[in-house]
Amino acid sequence: MSRSADIRRHVERGTGYAFREPRLLMTALTHVSSIKANDRETVSYQRLEFLGDRVLGLIVSDLLYKLYPQADEGELSKRLADLVRKESCAAVGEEIGLTDLIQIGPGGNGGRLRASVLGDVCEALIGAIYLDGGLPAAHDMVGRLWGARLKKPFSALRDPKTVLQ
Protein backbone atom coordinates (compact mmCIF):
# COMPACT_ATOMS: atom_id res chain seq x y z
CA MET A 1 0.00 0.00 0.00
CA SER A 2 1.47 3.39 -0.99
CA ARG A 3 1.72 6.40 1.32
CA SER A 4 -0.56 8.41 -0.97
CA ALA A 5 -3.21 5.67 -0.81
CA ASP A 6 -2.98 5.67 3.00
CA ILE A 7 -3.29 9.46 3.04
CA ARG A 8 -6.28 9.31 0.72
CA ARG A 9 -8.10 6.77 2.90
CA HIS A 10 -7.38 8.79 6.06
CA VAL A 11 -8.66 12.05 4.56
CA GLU A 12 -11.70 10.38 3.02
CA ARG A 13 -12.62 8.90 6.41
CA GLY A 14 -12.22 12.30 8.08
CA THR A 15 -14.14 14.28 5.49
CA GLY A 16 -16.70 11.73 4.36
CA TYR A 17 -15.76 12.48 0.76
CA ALA A 18 -14.19 9.99 -1.70
CA PHE A 19 -11.94 11.64 -4.27
CA ARG A 20 -12.31 10.72 -7.94
CA GLU A 21 -9.08 12.58 -8.71
CA PRO A 22 -6.53 11.82 -5.95
CA ARG A 23 -4.05 14.28 -7.52
CA LEU A 24 -6.23 17.14 -6.24
CA LEU A 25 -6.02 15.78 -2.70
CA MET A 26 -2.24 15.45 -2.86
CA THR A 27 -1.94 19.01 -4.19
CA ALA A 28 -4.10 20.28 -1.30
CA LEU A 29 -1.62 18.70 1.13
CA THR A 30 1.58 19.91 -0.58
CA HIS A 31 3.46 22.84 0.96
CA VAL A 32 5.64 24.88 -1.38
CA SER A 33 8.75 23.92 0.66
CA SER A 34 8.38 20.30 -0.44
CA ILE A 35 8.68 21.07 -4.15
CA LYS A 36 12.14 20.62 -5.61
CA ALA A 37 13.60 23.52 -7.61
CA ASN A 38 13.47 21.76 -11.00
CA ASP A 39 10.09 20.07 -10.45
CA ARG A 40 7.64 21.67 -12.88
CA GLU A 41 4.86 19.10 -12.36
CA THR A 42 4.25 19.32 -8.62
CA VAL A 43 2.26 22.30 -7.36
CA SER A 44 1.56 23.52 -3.86
CA TYR A 45 -1.79 24.01 -2.17
CA GLN A 46 -1.78 27.80 -2.61
CA ARG A 47 -4.19 28.06 -5.57
CA LEU A 48 -6.56 25.52 -4.03
CA GLU A 49 -6.44 27.46 -0.75
CA PHE A 50 -7.51 30.63 -2.60
CA LEU A 51 -10.48 28.80 -4.11
CA GLY A 52 -11.35 26.90 -0.94
CA ASP A 53 -11.45 30.10 1.09
CA ARG A 54 -14.15 31.51 -1.21
CA VAL A 55 -16.08 28.24 -1.37
CA LEU A 56 -16.03 27.97 2.43
CA GLY A 57 -17.31 31.55 2.76
CA LEU A 58 -20.17 30.87 0.34
CA ILE A 59 -21.19 27.61 1.99
CA VAL A 60 -21.02 28.93 5.56
CA SER A 61 -22.99 32.03 4.48
CA ASP A 62 -25.66 29.79 2.97
CA LEU A 63 -25.83 27.56 6.05
CA LEU A 64 -26.04 30.53 8.43
CA TYR A 65 -28.72 32.21 6.31
CA LYS A 66 -30.87 29.07 6.47
CA LEU A 67 -30.09 28.17 10.10
CA TYR A 68 -30.83 31.64 11.53
CA PRO A 69 -33.78 33.13 9.61
CA GLN A 70 -34.36 35.82 12.26
CA ALA A 71 -30.72 36.97 12.50
CA ASP A 72 -29.83 40.37 11.09
CA GLU A 73 -26.95 41.01 8.73
CA GLY A 74 -24.63 42.10 11.54
CA GLU A 75 -25.05 38.88 13.50
CA LEU A 76 -24.66 36.76 10.37
CA SER A 77 -21.50 38.65 9.41
CA LYS A 78 -19.95 38.16 12.85
CA ARG A 79 -20.82 34.48 12.88
CA LEU A 80 -19.37 34.08 9.39
CA ALA A 81 -16.12 35.82 10.33
CA ASP A 82 -15.70 33.54 13.35
CA LEU A 83 -16.43 30.36 11.38
CA VAL A 84 -14.13 31.00 8.40
CA ARG A 85 -11.11 32.46 10.19
CA LYS A 86 -7.82 30.56 10.01
CA GLU A 87 -8.06 29.35 13.60
CA SER A 88 -11.43 27.69 12.95
CA CYS A 89 -10.13 26.08 9.76
CA ALA A 90 -7.01 24.89 11.59
CA ALA A 91 -9.17 23.34 14.33
CA VAL A 92 -11.19 21.43 11.73
CA GLY A 93 -7.98 20.37 10.00
CA GLU A 94 -6.62 19.06 13.27
CA GLU A 95 -9.87 17.21 14.03
CA ILE A 96 -9.70 15.30 10.75
CA GLY A 97 -6.00 14.57 11.18
CA LEU A 98 -4.40 16.75 8.52
CA THR A 99 -1.48 17.86 10.69
CA ASP A 100 0.74 14.87 9.99
CA LEU A 101 -0.31 14.57 6.35
CA ILE A 102 0.99 17.91 5.10
CA GLN A 103 3.90 17.37 2.72
CA ILE A 104 6.58 19.75 4.01
CA GLY A 105 10.15 19.93 2.73
CA PRO A 106 13.34 20.52 4.68
CA GLY A 107 12.90 24.31 4.42
CA GLY A 108 9.46 24.16 6.00
CA ASN A 109 10.50 24.38 9.67
CA GLY A 110 8.69 21.15 10.55
CA GLY A 111 5.96 21.21 13.18
CA ARG A 112 5.98 24.97 13.77
CA LEU A 113 5.14 25.64 10.14
CA ARG A 114 2.58 22.84 10.11
CA ALA A 115 0.59 24.59 12.81
CA SER A 116 0.73 27.90 10.95
CA VAL A 117 -0.46 26.46 7.60
CA LEU A 118 -3.06 23.98 8.85
CA GLY A 119 -5.90 26.43 8.21
CA ASP A 120 -4.65 27.05 4.68
CA VAL A 121 -4.43 23.32 4.00
CA CYS A 122 -7.97 22.82 5.28
CA GLU A 123 -9.17 25.53 2.87
CA ALA A 124 -7.17 23.92 0.06
CA LEU A 125 -8.89 20.62 0.83
CA ILE A 126 -12.28 22.34 0.48
CA GLY A 127 -11.13 23.74 -2.87
CA ALA A 128 -10.01 20.27 -3.97
CA ILE A 129 -13.35 18.73 -3.00
CA TYR A 130 -15.17 21.53 -4.83
CA LEU A 131 -13.19 20.87 -8.03
CA ASP A 132 -13.49 17.10 -7.70
CA GLY A 133 -17.14 16.76 -6.72
CA GLY A 134 -18.76 20.16 -7.22
CA LEU A 135 -20.50 22.51 -4.85
CA PRO A 136 -22.88 19.86 -3.41
CA ALA A 137 -19.93 17.70 -2.30
CA ALA A 138 -18.15 20.66 -0.71
CA HIS A 139 -21.42 21.79 0.91
CA ASP A 140 -21.97 18.34 2.45
CA MET A 141 -18.43 18.20 3.82
CA VAL A 142 -18.51 21.71 5.30
CA GLY A 143 -21.96 21.06 6.78
CA ARG A 144 -20.67 17.94 8.54
CA LEU A 145 -17.37 19.37 9.77
CA TRP A 146 -18.62 22.84 10.75
CA GLY A 147 -22.06 21.68 11.94
CA ALA A 148 -21.51 21.98 15.69
CA ARG A 149 -19.68 25.29 15.27
CA LEU A 150 -22.58 26.69 13.24
CA LYS A 151 -24.98 25.99 16.09
CA LYS A 152 -22.93 27.63 18.85
CA PRO A 153 -24.92 30.23 20.80
CA PHE A 154 -24.31 33.72 19.51
CA SER A 155 -22.22 35.95 21.65
CA ALA A 156 -21.74 39.49 20.47
CA LEU A 157 -18.35 38.97 18.93
CA ARG A 158 -16.35 42.15 19.05
CA ASP A 159 -13.44 43.07 16.92
CA PRO A 160 -10.18 43.91 18.76
CA LYS A 161 -10.47 47.63 17.98
CA THR A 162 -13.94 47.85 19.56
CA VAL A 163 -12.76 45.95 22.65
CA LEU A 164 -9.80 48.31 23.02
CA GLN A 165 -12.04 51.38 22.77
CA dihedral 21, 108, 32, 136 (to 10 degrees): 40
Active-site residue among 123, 132, 140, 159? 123
Annotated active-site residue 95? The verdict is no
* Length of the chain (residues): 165
CA distances from 46 to 1, 31, 32 (A): 28, 8, 8
CA triple 73-146-10, angle to 5 deg: 155
Active-site residue among 49, 53, 120, 132? 53
Annotated active-site residue 123? The verdict is yes
Cα Rg of the chain, angstroms? 17
Q: Residues with catalytic annotation? A: 53, 123
